[in-house]
Structure 1
């Protein structure tokens, strides 16, 4: 047994011996789908050919040739192929757990994955070597090589060892086994005092080298990482019935509940006492980014909606009257928590005098923001489910949208009481959906570094686009007047979109794109455009908005 441990050093860490249970190579044609299959054994899945979407426990991944996935027992799998041919290898394992009792080794079967890897995509270096090793193991499993019964388990161990040594972080930095040992120590002993010297010693590095290596690999310092582990563990315990803050504080290494509460609020923005009952809170929003729409899509209707950003087209006296009215409504609603965006920082003191208030900083993308909101109200599962539904809907709608629009250019316009706004080409969730995810073609009406540009009705540039999608932000007479004035200009009447009847009214896509339900509505409106264009091929203006 010692010799085996030396040959496969990862066994010493996990005290588990993986054994090959079965392998198969699956090849399917177009329209290949997998719906709601549950994995019963630890598995690896390698995509050899094709591309599509793969959902593991409602988390969606892009699947393409060379992608390797870890499937732990209990994982629910859904998949849809985009290509005409899909081919992949499935490797199923059994795990024998080894334990030394009074000098003797005892073995018990286990359904756990033999290594501490999470369900999802496994990033590795040398992808082609991974493919070669798995294909070679498959040939051995099929009995095409001599002594295959002896060599298959040896090849499996070598494969897992190779993957373990060549894993990559999310930032594509190589996973360092020394750092992983220190992280295992953090997880195991987080309830105790852990020093930088201890962690560096475990990793076999000096404290300064350890700190530099850790930050390069994980994007944060060891201290911040340990704090995140402690907060994540605390969050799990806070969702349990009859939990006690003092006990949780001690179990995750914060010593007392006051220090724990301070660190928790620094990290999440709300106190642990609020987090404990997050799925029962009366929540209000203070946002111009549609936070109330995010919460509604998660099944939670805010008790009040506050929108305090100044609109240049609103009279100042009318604006002040509206703010006072909204604050009165907010007080009457008596929320337990107010969630706002960074545009409402000027109102923070007044908001927090009504209820605990959290103002979210700008998120990297719409998904991060939506997931953050979902966590604050205890609806992460609903958010993941909506993400999955959206991805599969995009998958199904994509071919018809690309077939209809093809290489035609599209442009987005918003009409207000005073201005005509054109959507630019900058990084924005709406642009990402239309041009990156759906593959539609953007009309170059504005310089690439401009997000949106405003024009008066009679000063718009030539609308050199094949399709024009128009959102009317207001239906007041002033807005209708601006629209009529614009339609009298040469820039409008010379537009290819206008000449060919490809002008379409739309909802507020600029706001809808920040949550899954809104993005689904955008997809539905695009599909509706196709349907109505077929029904009314000679219409000059098709109205689909509300």
Structure 2
């Protein structure tokens, strides 16, 4: 008989900002718990979704990569000491330990999530609070007792969950089948049979588990495989479409472009593309953050105060310039849909749709031009810079609060607290405090400068941006600066008003976010708040 005893060597806690990436090799046996967040996990190159409180056992030498998909995340790493003992008759021999298979990349989410989370936190606190115990042996004993409680509870629950639904195992087997046979013809009846479900029940269950239909998932697998094969020298679109399971080259090209944003032929040339940007969005900054410099950056949007003839002349000049530059690809945004057809006469176009998460457009661009690794490295660097800025701002600003205001051509706009990348950066990632108002503003509001006195805005800083250049915006700003609200406000009287560039546009790109952080550190330098 062989037994394995597992002890806790040490425990570490990590908190990371939204969309940070982790890549490392396990130096020792490790039990990992993601306690907040979710994302894409890859162990030795095999990818899957990782949710909070799915126990994960890593052995020495295992390569792990994790990319958060939304929001910040927190995880604990438990370094393990394991001892194997074999009993033969009256002799006991120490052997290599065998850790439970149920803990290996289980993909099973614990049911007792709150209790497990509380046990992990209590264990971490015990391991951290050295001074709480009279002696080190006492602390060590308490730490090991708490670990054994956590370890045995988790293992027993996994054993129970592994025995429960055959359909869950069948679902995993059907997904594995998709990965192994993506190049073959696959029908719903095959997959349902593997999962031991009816086709209707299988489709419904698959959508619940994976968030997409089985054939949407299969198409995504095939596109990923096609991207890898299109990167090889001497290949062709036709041969790749056949090898990854698409029966028609035309259908393959259509699915590929819908997924990636550009055609397979263009994707094969992605490292040599001449790219132009025609957008209000700062796609040019996104490209620069990936090390790519666009040959042109244009904006055809008709802003307030621009006459029809002036606007038409601007659009005509831009189109003529693009024809002379001959780009391979033109990136456009939602504000330029109406120009897509004339732009298609010049080059292939890719419209990047709007998403509340600024990283989605960045990732889409990186995917098109084959810069995914550069993207991950850059995002990791940005996460570290954000963490450094947060610490510095915590020392200089402390509990000081700030309010964002925009001066438009016809009103003053006060930014409340809706989901926006700028609010995410300032008040979540950098930990700054938003100014308070009465009545409360939970969304952006617009009003005339004279109406501001009807609001009570408590804020140590006022950050003001003039949205449009021109006499109308200048007049609105002058009226605001002459208003009782402005003259009486504590930030004005204390000299803590900052006029800022268009942070609302800049916050959508890594370069812009870095510039905002640098500006904040400059603006608040020397200002101390309790």
Coarse TM-score class (shorter-chain normalised): 0.7 to 0.9
Counterparts of 1:362-511 in structure 2 under 5 Å? 362-416=354-408, 419-444=411-436, 448=441, 450-451=443-444, 453=446, 455-461=447-453, 462=455, 464-466=457-459, 467-473=461-467, 479-511=473-505
Q: Partners in 2 of 1:316 and 1:220 — Cα distance?
A: 45
Q: Displacement, 1:414?
A: 2.8
Q: Is 1:177 the counterpart of 2:173 in the alignment? A: no
Given that 1:25 and 1:90 are in contact with CA atoms closer than 8 Å, whether structure 2 keeps it comes out as yes
Q: TM-score, normalised by structure 2?
A: 0.73
Q: Partners in 1 of 2:444 and 2:340 — Cα distance?
A: 27
Of 510, 513, 517, 1:516 maps to 510
- For 1:158-194, what per-residue CA distance to the aligned partner results, in whole angstroms no more than 9, with x for missing partners? 959928957xxxxxxx993221111111111111111
Given that 2:281 and 2:505 are in contact with CA atoms closer than 8 Å, whether structure 1 keeps it comes out as yes
Equivalent in the alignment of 1:83: none
Q: How many residues get paired?
A: 458
Q: Do the aligned partners of residues 353 and 452 (structure 1) sit closer, same or farther apart at CA in structure 2, a change above 3 Å counting? A: farther
Q: Partners in 1 of 2:281 and 2:108 — Cα distance?
A: 35
Question: Match of 1:209, SS?
Answer: helix
Q: Is 1:203 the counterpart of 2:192 in the alignment? A: no
Q: Do the aligned partners of residues 397 and 475 (structure 1) sit closer, same or farther apart at CA in structure 2, a change above 3 Å counting? A: same
Equivalent in the alignment of 2:9: 25
Q: Partners in 1 of 2:118 and 2:415 — Cα distance?
A: 44
Counterparts of 1:518-533 in structure 2 under 5 Å? 518-533=512-527
Q: Partners in 2 of 1:517 and 1:23 — Cα distance?
A: 46
Q: Do the aligned partners of residues 497 and 55 (structure 1) sit closer, same or farther apart at CA in structure 2, a change above 3 Å counting? A: farther
Of 147, 158, 161, 1:162 maps to 158
Q: Partners in 2 of 1:286 and 1:402 — Cα distance?
A: 39
Q: Partners in 2 of 1:163 and 1:506 — Cα distance?
A: 57
Q: Partners in 2 of 1:394 and 1:329 — Cα distance?
A: 38
Q: Do the aligned partners of residues 361 and 28 (structure 1) sit closer, same or farther apart at CA in structure 2, a change above 3 Å counting? A: closer
Which 10-residue stretch deviates more, 192-201 or 274-283?
Answer: 274-283
Structure 1 runs of 4+ aligned residues shifted over 6 Å read 19-23, 28-31, 54-57, 113-116, 130-133
Equivalent in the alignment of 2:131: none
Structure 2 stretches of 5 or more lacking a match?
A: 16-21, 43-51, 68-74, 83-100, 124-140, 142-147
Q: Do the aligned partners of residues 22 and 515 (structure 1) sit closer, same or farther apart at CA in structure 2, a change above 3 Å counting? A: farther
Of 287, 311, 321, 1:319 maps to 311
Q: Displacement, 1:359?
A: 1.1
Q: Partners in 2 of 1:229 and 1:364 — Cα distance?
A: 26
CA RMSD of the aligned region, Å? 4.5
Q: Displacement, 1:302?
A: 1.1
Given that 1:435 and 1:441 are in contact with CA atoms closer than 8 Å, whether structure 2 keeps it comes out as yes
Q: Displacement, 1:91?
A: 4.5
Of 332, 335, 349, 1:340 maps to 332
Q: Partners in 1 of 2:267 and 2:521 — Cα distance?
A: 40
Q: Do the aligned partners of residues 227 and 505 (structure 1) sit closer, same or farther apart at CA in structure 2, a change above 3 Å counting? A: same
Q: TM-score, normalised by structure 1?
A: 0.71
Q: Partners in 1 of 2:118 and 2:81 — Cα distance?
A: 16
Q: Displacement, 1:476?
A: 5.3
Question: Match of 1:464, SS?
Answer: strand
Given that 1:390 and 1:516 are in contact with CA atoms closer than 8 Å, whether structure 2 keeps it comes out as yes
Given that 2:110 and 2:158 are in contact with CA atoms closer than 8 Å, whether structure 1 keeps it comes out as no
Structure 1 stretches of 5 or more lacking a match?
A: 5-18, 58-64, 79-85, 94-112, 136-143, 145-151, 167-173, 538-546
Q: Partners in 1 of 2:259 and 2:12 — Cα distance?
A: 47
Q: Do the aligned partners of residues 341 and 403 (structure 1) sit closer, same or farther apart at CA in structure 2, a change above 3 Å counting? A: same
